[in-house]
Structure 1
């Protein structure tokens, strides 16, 4: 008898499950298989496979692993107990996904530890629905309007917030006035996300709609880091910076023009052949609009969308500008030569003669209007049914957009003379020749920009000249209270506020912009580049007070984009001395107290039971118990470096990670990194002794003191473990709030303990934060109990609330002459704190002239603490800044001082002054030095050797150089590049090196 198929399958499945339950391995596989099926259903319901996903369940480990493996989602778990949290972390760790795809936090569901709108999805499993249903408002708080909340069988969608605005056209709207109508993006601000890409080609164009940011990247690069984005159109989530999709653009078509428009459903993109209609959610082309017969050509020169109708200027197709794909070994980029088209004496792009109107829904042509003169696409704008345009030196005109008929046109010689000839621009002090130089309101049309010698206002009613001003290199922002003309140091040397109709000067603003970057306006501010490489300048509307946002600057061709209730800084190719680069989003902070003080009741968790003792772990002479060996970060220990070494053991972490530096003490090697785990290995054979977990990436290694291991985590907490066993003793929340953000592909607290830790005489020191405007929090805690000795919560704003100059957390701590130093970013660094009470010793200077090296590394150089170039949040590949550029490393002990810059290693003569420093010897065997460790007789160097083949696996090495004369004692190849300062030794002369991919090698003496 043949059984029905469904009965046969049921029997088979039942037998399989029975066998599985009788076998531990089988049961685990059955559980994994069930989780994989559930994950597929979840992904199908979500409709997205990337972004941040909150998963709430009492035992979420298997489902989290399955979701992470089947998608590009970052999975965030939050569990109420230490036991459940540790179990979930251990499962993710075993799967190799901890800190890359899965993040686990301890906490109640009534307060999810994420920033508002950060999550793309919240998934509550059916078993968790009864507990989570009461947290419905909290779940909706953390999800963004592009995402969903799956609450068991119910799916919730968050509405797009009232008062937010799109940035639908490259200059905000068809009028080219870069003034946002967003009511939510108000000062002060908190960092919402830091995201890739960091560096991109030029030109660049950005538009935004309904929470998505669209960026077109052009055809000109000068560093290999920009190559992956050549001729690319990309969409990003405007709430967390996640890349949603990307697609290629026509190579060599100059994109810096008004031919990209964003709507919630459709992105319109004009090119040399047509206007493409692209699905904003998927990036797939939905169709195209082609200029009709009788048009002056097929190429799209200008576009605007108003009242549901698409308007365009079209003309002859343009020759492609050759793609520039250079790879400079220095910072910066040239304004000339830039590209063949940009270098041409006459601007070659964007000219047309045919205006047309199209219904984008039906793709039917509404009207066509041909001009006899050639219209400059840079000089076309639109507002309330009128299109204003200029044929340079010939006419200024206006079209009735409803009829496609001229409303007026003028060839008045006086007006055309006032508008004047083109200035070439193409210089950092002026800007790009491809910039638009026309804006409009219902009352006037304004001509100004990098190509203009005068600012000219024309009546929008009839084209008559209203007024002019004898300088044209202004960035205009038109507001209800006046026309803001943001000037530069060249031209008038002033920033002015005009009456828009009469031209009367209403006010002179305190500051001019820095160079060419576009000025843009929010509800309460105008943003531009800060003068003298000072990051971003925010000018308040109420007081006309300039404030500095120092860590980042806007890209030249976009400025700060205001959309979806936030401020957006885009990536660029700039190598200015900036601490933060890339896709950066700031959200309104409201009344959040960025300088909030900590209390032990709120912040300290003690796990020490009465009467418990600490198992001792001796730090032996020659051990390496903290970052770069000691609190002065000398990189030196009093141990003999072996005359020869062998590979003793190697370690491979469960998953990919960025390693922090190893440390050694008491016969153990301690490893940590971006997965948030701390691992103790036996230094003799590399076998694991214990593993403990934190909730975020670890930037700097732990420090050992009095049997305790202290480590600062990206989750905003400082942890104290028993060093011998990994038992948690206490933890202290250094962050003022539990608020995770998206940070270059990871989840991190807004206030990570990114300084690492420093322990000295029974006190552990740490600093939490990223950007000074978020707040910088420096602590001294009792090493035994975690009790607060002192705290400084105000050094992020040294001049008080009216001045934005302050310390950021952009590197590690160093102790020198009873002062605590912190790498503080590109304005105040190093920051210095009184060791007794935490008072910041840096005096607030001039807000606009104060600068410092952006570097994360501190060294005591000739008795003075200095910061050096590479920033904490930089990509792994070193790129020098345009100034303060010095790739510097130093190890020192007594009279032995060894330094490296680039690949050159030299022992310095200590008896000469810094200005006349002599070398006792020089070694040039390395192309780039990653780390050094100084022993009694030799310096151990890890890095990259010179090689003509970038794929040469033997080019990475570990070598010992004699202190006496610099000769090579021995050299061993490494499988990949070592990390920055990821080198340590121990008391018996073992050498431990961590590689960039997380692998660890231990070399031991051969005798």
Structure 2
């Protein structure tokens, strides 16, 4: 029955009491749902997972084992909750309401199938009593051939608002009525893409952007997309868009767009066209007000009935701009100055188009100059009988930016207020809230009297940036995620991320959240992509009982004697991602250059799904399989979206075992001492017996059992990278996304055989002694894979000293010093990263992560174009001095003096040899993977193919065909080369029989 009556077909579905998994899989196959099943029993969880896997849907649907008392989701996250066996999984209805997003639906009861399987029946009376006791209103009871169901919907909160137009509404006042928005503390959802997009709006729980994509506003899951021509997509600072493209707007369940020269009304739920408006012309600006569409093209301003499409009126207007609605009227500027027209401000009746008044700019000397600013005026805000126009020079230093106010009643000039740019080409902007017209001047928010322009209130606030401020009725939002309380004047700045470069709204406060769009920003280590952030919880979430954070498995692996090193693995193995604790990507083991494929195994591709694009945009996951690790005669890889680790016989390619975990596994597991260790994006660390995949233990690294949405799957706010660092008999891992989000990044050290905690450290800030811009910018990341560096374990640019326990930030150090044998190299920090590089717009900043590998004092790397390979020898033990300082501010300033443009160029200033890998004729080809194996350097290409070079002189030794590997997806072990490919295969290459 549930599949027939459920009206929710998109978003996130929680299936409580997943049973055998058949309904879980069926829900995932009916539409565009991401289905997360919960089961209280271990065996039931295994059966459900197997059922979903057989259906070919694992990753689109999956199951975790959890108790029913508290659901693991953040508040306002889930679209649909199905509890078809409530007696076996009795989650309180109040808890369901907590996690349900506004407008979300709950189906709770006992299906006919579950009733037939159970000795206890759930009756309508029992269900009614349960819901009444929980205070659930508006529910309905249904029966179904022996089953019984209740359905209820979460109402929309009174204090929640959307952002349906680029400046919130037709009045142009960029102020949200949302009282639930507050200073961000938590990440609610995150996804791609990462290129600049600055035309985001939100209505009725849906966000729209680009040209055009729709996402659920509360969890970010994709709903639909449709191509518009020309695209309304805006790029850098909202100024780069296709000619003739109009910004879209929304009203309720209707989205208004312009495509192919016509205005369309789309069903916001599906993207299908509901109506076209032939009478609207070819609009370049549009607003919705009181059932009317106000549209402007280069020669007309029109009013069209939104329901019928009929034209109410039109007014001739050359180059109209600043279209604003208020007091039952529409205001705008018109006049083509290039043709000698005077720029004129007019007021028309909204319903009839009748002119009320007009004010012209002076055209010659001697005329009154009080309207001399009209030719430079841009956007306009209407508030309480006053029109405030913004005059922006978009310069950090030029004079002439200001706010100019006129009376809406008669157009009389009232006042002007000088705007002082404060960096990043900041623009003049006025927001009306708390009875004052607020403007940003320097690092201040000034509240002006709306009728006189006098400063009535001054607060400290965020500085200007490449986007203007916006506000709610409680907060003034500006600068680097700075929220200024408009009552107390207190400013809260929490740099989880930054506003998008946009001329409309860098922040979008709506739906109780603060949204930012992607930007190519190099200001500091921040969360990238589309990000939705929530304020601090009104009530703290209690941590689960001790048993909930640690689970002993049935397997056991005996640890070595104290002080002894595990001996079951060969020194020629490749036991962790990039080989060893220094993430060198190199091994002393010789591998012959001439290789042939000995075996290959296909582990399966990703399921066809509406989520595929989100999965592909996840820069932390490089493909359907991770790079391989090799130890103890086995090859270990993870299938990220399938939540699976696979062990393969290194000799034959046969599958030895598979293990499904509780969440996405983004990088390869680590093999150590008969163990297989890995982290999941659900915030847990697993330890399996390498022999058979049986669980030894698992530990929750996240402080709480909570789930948000990230890149098309459910994850923890505190995800753990797949690659666990093991060094000197201790396992290290980190959980978190950014040091200022969700309480910071938690770093833990445990005994790998028992899981017993040895130490813990939470990082909640960057080096406090440095200004953000001078400290490193985007040259490093908030979270990266852990690496061993001398006496420290390093997380990005935080060093955790293992001897003293101190945390030592090193924000200016762009190179680490690593010893893998008897000698050392200086290698770029983050060479092992799995984070994105997004600053393509500014080539001197945040270059693509360099591919480098090293052994002893030899470093092998590829150039910035990824088309040459080079060798750099170090003599650090002999006294060589190498400048390791590299950070964003210096990366910008020093190249002006002729110094290095990138860290790779610094390395290449002193090379032993440089060899071309790909010529100019190899279009689109570049290095995708690099490995150093003894005296041989292997380079695999973005378009496939494998080349082997001599490490001693750089000469080409051999080349052969090879499928395209995943990024950094090769491992050399036992004189063999193992490769993970973008099509989901694992290959083993061995010495050619011809040799």
Q: TM-score, normalised by structure 2?
A: 0.78
Alignment counterpart, residue 669 of structure 1, candidates 609, 612, 635: 635
Asked if 1:382 is matched to 2:325, the reply is yes
Deviation per residue, 1:306-355 (Å, 9 max, x gap)? 3x3315244xxxxxxxxxxxxxxxxxxxxxxxxxxxxxxxxxxx444445
Deviation per residue, 1:575-626 (Å, 9 max, x gap)? 88775443322223324669x99995552222368x9746987121111111
**Whole-angstrom distance in 2 between the partners of 1:633 and 1:733:** 25
**Partner-residue secondary structure (3-state), 2:92:** helix
Asked if 1:138 is matched to 2:95, the reply is yes
In structure 2, what is the equivalent of residue 891 of structure 1? 853
Further displaced range: 537-546 or 260-269:
537-546
In structure 1, what is the equivalent of residue 958 of structure 2? 970
Asked if 1:110 is matched to 2:69, the reply is yes
Further displaced range: 439-448 or 148-157:
148-157
In structure 1, what is the equivalent of residue 201 of structure 2? 207
Deviation per residue, 1:752-799 (Å, 9 max, x gap)? 102731122332111111123222111112223222222122434766
In structure 2, what is the equivalent of residue 817 of structure 1? 790
**Whole-angstrom distance in 1 between the partners of 2:9 and 2:544:** 39
Asked if 1:468 is matched to 2:416, the reply is yes
Deviation per residue, 1:689-719 (Å, 9 max, x gap)? 2222211111222223332222111110011
Do 2:361 and 2:373's aligned partners in 1 also have CA atoms closer than 8 Å? no
In structure 1, what is the equivalent of residue 239 of structure 2? none
In structure 2, what is the equivalent of residue 431 of structure 1? none
**Partner-residue secondary structure (3-state), 1:710:** strand
Asked if 1:627 is matched to 2:627, the reply is no
In structure 1, what is the equivalent of residue 982 of structure 2? 996
Do 1:606 and 1:731's aligned partners in 2 also have CA atoms closer than 8 Å? yes
**Whole-angstrom distance in 1 between the partners of 2:956 and 2:826:** 31
Do 2:501 and 2:519's aligned partners in 1 also have CA atoms closer than 8 Å? yes
**Whole-angstrom distance in 1 between the partners of 2:21 and 2:835:** 30
Deviation per residue, 1:838-884 (Å, 9 max, x gap)? 542228xxxxxx8898x999999976574348974549999996612
Do 1:376 and 1:391's aligned partners in 2 also have CA atoms closer than 8 Å? yes
**Whole-angstrom distance in 1 between the partners of 2:802 and 2:368:** 67
**Partner-residue secondary structure (3-state), 1:991:** strand
Do 1:812 and 1:857's aligned partners in 2 also have CA atoms closer than 8 Å? no
Deviation per residue, 1:703-755 (Å, 9 max, x gap)? 23332222111110011112222221111111122222221122221111027
**Whole-angstrom distance in 2 between the partners of 1:543 and 1:567:** 20
Asked if 1:160 is matched to 2:152, the reply is no
How far has the Cα of 1:422 moved from its partner? 4.2
**Whole-angstrom distance in 1 between the partners of 2:284 and 2:508:** 23
Do 2:549 and 2:699's aligned partners in 1 also have CA atoms closer than 8 Å? yes
In structure 2, what is the equivalent of residue 831 of structure 1? 798
In structure 1, what is the equivalent of residue 870 of structure 2? 906
Further displaced range: 626-635 or 411-420:
411-420
Do 2:391 and 2:404's aligned partners in 1 also have CA atoms closer than 8 Å? no
**Whole-angstrom distance in 2 between the partners of 1:667 and 1:871:** 27
How far has the Cα of 1:508 moved from its partner? 5.7
**Partner-residue secondary structure (3-state), 1:283:** coil
**Whole-angstrom distance in 2 between the partners of 1:980 and 1:878:** 19
How far has the Cα of 1:925 moved from its partner? 1.5
Further displaced range: 255-264 or 387-396:
255-264
Alignment counterpart, residue 310 of structure 1, candidates 274, 286, 292: 292
How far has the Cα of 1:199 moved from its partner? 3.1
The alpha-carbon distance between structure 1 residues 836 and 103, as it changes in their structure 2 partners (threshold 3 A), is farther
Deviation per residue, 1:492-546 (Å, 9 max, x gap)? x97644333322234666566454323221344333454xxxxx55445443536
In structure 1, what is the equivalent of residue 126 of structure 2? none
Alignment counterpart, residue 980 of structure 1, candidates 964, 967, 974: 967
The alpha-carbon distance between structure 1 residues 868 and 636, as it changes in their structure 2 partners (threshold 3 A), is closer
The alpha-carbon distance between structure 1 residues 206 and 672, as it changes in their structure 2 partners (threshold 3 A), is closer
Asked if 1:233 is matched to 2:212, the reply is yes
In structure 2, what is the equivalent of residue 223 of structure 1? none
In structure 1, what is the equivalent of residue 916 of structure 2? 924
**Partner-residue secondary structure (3-state), 1:129:** coil
**Partner-residue secondary structure (3-state), 1:659:** coil
Further displaced range: 572-581 or 814-823:
572-581
| Structure-to-structure mapping, 1:399-438, within 5 angstroms | 399-401=348-350, 404-411=353-360, 417-420=370-373, 422=375, 436-438=378-380
Alignment counterpart, residue 79 of structure 1, candidates 39, 54, 64: 39
Alignment counterpart, residue 383 of structure 2, candidates 441, 457, 462: 441
Deviation per residue, 1:784-836 (Å, 9 max, x gap)? 32222221224347669x9999997532010111111112xxxxxx2221224
Asked if 1:53 is matched to 2:13, the reply is yes
**Whole-angstrom distance in 2 between the partners of 1:106 and 1:881:** 47
How far has the Cα of 1:141 moved from its partner? 2.9
The alpha-carbon distance between structure 1 residues 613 and 884, as it changes in their structure 2 partners (threshold 3 A), is closer
Further displaced range: 791-800 or 129-138:
791-800
**Partner-residue secondary structure (3-state), 2:45:** helix
**Partner-residue secondary structure (3-state), 2:174:** coil
Do 1:810 and 1:871's aligned partners in 2 also have CA atoms closer than 8 Å? no
Asked if 1:742 is matched to 2:709, the reply is yes
**Whole-angstrom distance in 2 between the partners of 1:456 and 1:514:** 19
In structure 1, what is the equivalent of residue 134 of structure 2? none
The alpha-carbon distance between structure 1 residues 769 and 562, as it changes in their structure 2 partners (threshold 3 A), is same
How far has the Cα of 1:454 moved from its partner? 3.1
Alignment counterpart, residue 762 of structure 1, candidates 722, 729, 745: 729
In structure 2, what is the equivalent of residue 263 of structure 1? 251
Do 1:600 and 1:788's aligned partners in 2 also have CA atoms closer than 8 Å? no
Q: Which runs of 5+ in 1 are unaligned?
A: 1-40, 218-231, 292-296, 315-349, 424-434, 531-535, 824-829, 844-849, 945-954
How far has the Cα of 1:1001 moved from its partner? 0.5
**Partner-residue secondary structure (3-state), 1:88:** helix
Q: Which runs of 5+ in 2 are unaligned?
A: 110-148, 233-241, 336-341, 394-399, 421-426, 561-565, 607-622, 883-905, 919-924
How far has the Cα of 1:376 moved from its partner? 4.9
The alpha-carbon distance between structure 1 residues 119 and 546, as it changes in their structure 2 partners (threshold 3 A), is closer
Do 1:68 and 1:75's aligned partners in 2 also have CA atoms closer than 8 Å? yes
**Whole-angstrom distance in 1 between the partners of 2:934 and 2:298:** 71
**Whole-angstrom distance in 1 between the partners of 2:727 and 2:841:** 34
**Partner-residue secondary structure (3-state), 2:468:** coil
**Whole-angstrom distance in 1 between the partners of 2:980 and 2:225:** 34
**Whole-angstrom distance in 2 between the partners of 1:982 and 1:183:** 48
Do 1:857 and 1:870's aligned partners in 2 also have CA atoms closer than 8 Å? no
**RMSD over equivalenced CA pairs, Å:** 3.8
The alpha-carbon distance between structure 1 residues 890 and 259, as it changes in their structure 2 partners (threshold 3 A), is closer
Do 2:184 and 2:514's aligned partners in 1 also have CA atoms closer than 8 Å? no
**Whole-angstrom distance in 2 between the partners of 1:989 and 1:633:** 20
**Partner-residue secondary structure (3-state), 1:437:** strand
**Whole-angstrom distance in 1 between the partners of 2:231 and 2:709:** 33
The alpha-carbon distance between structure 1 residues 480 and 523, as it changes in their structure 2 partners (threshold 3 A), is closer
Do 2:161 and 2:512's aligned partners in 1 also have CA atoms closer than 8 Å? yes
**Partner-residue secondary structure (3-state), 2:87:** helix
Deviation per residue, 1:354-390 (Å, 9 max, x gap)? 453x54345555x53636xx36543221224233333
**Partner-residue secondary structure (3-state), 1:64:** helix
**Partner-residue secondary structure (3-state), 2:586:** coil
Do 1:796 and 1:808's aligned partners in 2 also have CA atoms closer than 8 Å? no
In structure 2, what is the equivalent of residue 5 of structure 1? none
